[in-house]
Structure 1
Amino acid sequence: MNVSDVMTRNVISVGPDDTVEQAVKTMLERRISGLLVVDKGGNLAGVVTEGDLLRRDEIGTETDRPWWLRLLVSPSRQAADFVRANGRYVKDIMTTDVLTVAHDAPLEDVVSTMEKNRIKRLPVTRDGRVVGIVSRADLLRALIGRVRDVAPTGGDDRSIRDAIMNTLSEKSWAPRTTVNVTVNRGVADIWGSITNENERAAIRVAVENTPGVTTIHDHLVYIEPYTGTVIESPDDTA
């Protein structure tokens, strides 16, 4: 298996010229801790995480060194800290030194990179452009499919998954950025979050109508839109 077999293709991102406020709202609304920063050409410009927003003037947490310590810190570093604490745009606070992985890289390379750098997710690129993101959770989902004792079928798992993802990407009702599917020997595992039970049913129908799918395991989590209450999926509570 390689990265394209397990990655999440629809990436939540912001642009370098988006405001810090826009980035914060997106993270809160999507319940995520970080965002890729992608320019208008689709190229990865950086990443912004919750950690980049801890030292902010608005909440009184800007780095405030004693006068004697300021003598030991270069003016360049102090200026950079000021920009990070007061900058209004994503480009002012984002981290630009970002590790990536190619879309056709083997999963072993992904695991090695994550372990070596102690990171949880990697942007996936093709010809320098962002085409997805792969996380530890995606790898665990692939693992579940591999260890399950299922008799092999004649289907091509990669083609089946591509067909499912393409179908969902064409549906206006489908939650494109919060749903992922893995396929192993015709068994489809559906992962992610939904905000209403009609989405669950529609996703299930779309998957089960895909040629080559023999069994479906629903791991979707329902998030009540008004209270944020998380309700476990049917398969996980059975």
Structure 2
Amino acid sequence: MTLSRLGLEASMDPKRVRAGQLMQRRVFCVPPQMPVRELAKKLDRRGLEGGVVVDGGGNLLGVVSKSDVYHYQREGTRGPDALAFFRQHLIDGLSAASPADVPDLARVRDIMRPSAVEFPENASVDRIAQAMRRRRLLRVLITSGRKVRGLLTAMDLLKLLES
């Protein structure tokens, strides 16, 4: 995406450019009740590293990444629902279930990180870049209230500098 397509002048001072002008407006959002297995498939299909967790009203709840999915898969099924499933099988005296029989009970809400670094649409990209460098971030969310409006990545900032 070029700066001219964004309505920005190539000679524009980064201190005057606002997050809302440079951000990517298409953000991959997922509900907290989505099964982790489904999330993993969607991330792979779309070639994404993660997504934003929002409630039914589009309010920001947290973020989830491929590494969160990886850690979940490595540690195995967890959470109160999984524990209840195994207790039921032990108490009822049923034989141990094979892995194929074990339901994928984990949901995005079980593995997401409830905090996300966010900035308002009117924040200067200069200020955002400083925060990203200090905190070693590759992306930040752009919000209005609790609503996700977009995403600003290190690549977006590099495109601005490149022009």
> Size of the alignment, in residue pairs?
124
Question: Aligned runs of 1:102-141 on 2, under 5 Å?
Answer: 102-141=120-159
**CA drift at 1:100:** 0.5
Q: Quick one: distance in 2 between partners of 1:7 and 1:129?
A: 14
The corresponding residue for 2:75 is 62
Answer yes or no: is 1:18 the counterpart of 2:34. yes
Q: Quick one: distance in 1 between partners of 2:130 and 2:52?
A: 21
Q: Quick one: distance in 2 between partners of 1:50 and 1:112?
A: 26
Question: Aligned runs of 1:36-185 on 2, under 5 Å?
Answer: 36-57=52-73, 61-62=74-75, 82-83=78-79, 88-145=106-163
* TM-score relative to the length of structure 1: 0.49
Equivalent residue of 1:47, what SS?
A: strand
Q: Could you tell me which amino acid in structure 2 is paired with residue 128 of structure 1?
A: R
Q: Quick one: distance in 2 between partners of 1:29 and 1:6?
A: 26
**CA drift at 1:12:** 1.0
**CA drift at 1:115:** 1.2
**CA drift at 1:82:** 3.7
**CA drift at 1:144:** 2.1
The corresponding residue for 1:176 is none
Question: Aligned runs of 1:170-209 on 2, under 5 Å?
Answer: none
Contact 1:83–1:93 (CA under 8 A) maintained in structure 2: no
Contact 1:2–1:103 (CA under 8 A) maintained in structure 2: yes
* TM-score relative to the length of structure 2: 0.70
Give the percent of matched residue pairs that are identical in Structure 1 and Structure 2: 29
**Higher RCO structure (Cα 8 Å, ≥6 apart):** 2
Q: Quick one: distance in 1 between partners of 2:79 and 2:139?
A: 26
**CA drift at 1:130:** 0.5
Q: Deviations over 1:163-190 (max 9, x none)?
A: xxxxxxxxxxxxxxxxxxxxxxxxxxxx
**CA drift at 1:141:** 1.4
Pick from 5, 24, 29 the counterpart of residue 45 of structure 2.
29
Which ranges in structure 1 are unaligned for 5 or more consecutive residues?
A: 64-80, 146-238
**CA drift at 1:96:** 0.3
